[in-house]
Chains A and B, each alone.
Chain A
Amino acid sequence: MAATRLFLRASPVKCSLTGLTGGVHSSLGLTLLKLSPACTAKPQAQRRHAAHFTYHPEPAPSQYGPTQKMNLFQSVTSALDNTLAGDPTAVIFGEDVAFGGVFRCTVGLRDKYGKDRVFNTPLCEQGIVGFGIGAAAAGATAIAEIQFADYIYPAFDQIVNEAAKYRYRSGNMFDCGKLTIRSPWGCVGHGSIYHSQCPEAFFTHCPGIKIVVPRGPVQAKGLLLSCIADQNPCIFFEPKILYRAAVEQVPTEAYQIPLSQAEVLQEGSDLTLVAWGTQVHVLKEVAAMAQEKLGVSCELIDLRTILPWDTETVCKSVVKTGRLLISHEAPVTGGFAAEISSTVQTYESTWIFKFPPQPHKKVTARESKYLSLYFALF
Chain B
Amino acid sequence: MTVFHFFNCAILTFGPHAVYYSATPLSEYDTLGTSVKAALVYLGTALVKLVCLATFLKVSETDNFDPYQELLKALIGFIDVAGLYFALTQLTHRNISQNHKFQAVGLGWAFADSVLHRLAPLWVGARGLEFTWDYLLQGLEANANLVLSISLAALGSLMWLRKNKPKTLIPIIYACAGIVATMPSITSCVKNSTCQYPYYSDIWPLQLFEAGIGMAISKGGRL
Query: Do A and B belong to a common assembly?
Result: no
Residues on A lying within 8 angstroms of B by beta carbon are none
Residues on B lying within 8 angstroms of A by beta carbon are none
